[in-house]
Amino acid sequence: MGMLTSDPNVLGGALVFKGTRVPVNGLFDYLVAGESIKDFLDDFPTVSFEQVKHVLQSAEVAVARMAV
């Protein structure tokens, strides 16, 4: 089961959390601004903690691969 999706008819094809119209980059915008994951989830209740966890773990793997 994918946790993310991209559809050219939804937000111009931006990567969003599956089942929502919430762009994944919004999560990173929150974190860069010093907001918490709880703040993000409170503001976007259609996104689950599991989806956020998946994105952060995927980002961790991608960064680790870049360091090699």
- For the chain, the domains span 4-66
pTM of the model: 0.88
Closest by Cα among 1, 10, 63, 34 to 24? 10
pLDDT at 3: 92
Provide the pLDDT confidence category of residue 2 given band limits of 50, 70 and 90: confident
Each residue of 55-65: b (16+ CB within 10 Å) or e? beeeeeeeeee
Provide the pLDDT confidence category of residue 1 given band limits of 50, 70 and 90: low
Domain 4-66 has CATH 1.10.3720.10: no
Provide the pLDDT confidence category of residue 23 given band limits of 50, 70 and 90: very high
Provide the pLDDT confidence category of residue 49 given band limits of 50, 70 and 90: very high
Q: How crowded is residue 3: how many other Cβ atoms within 10 Å of its Cβ?
A: 17
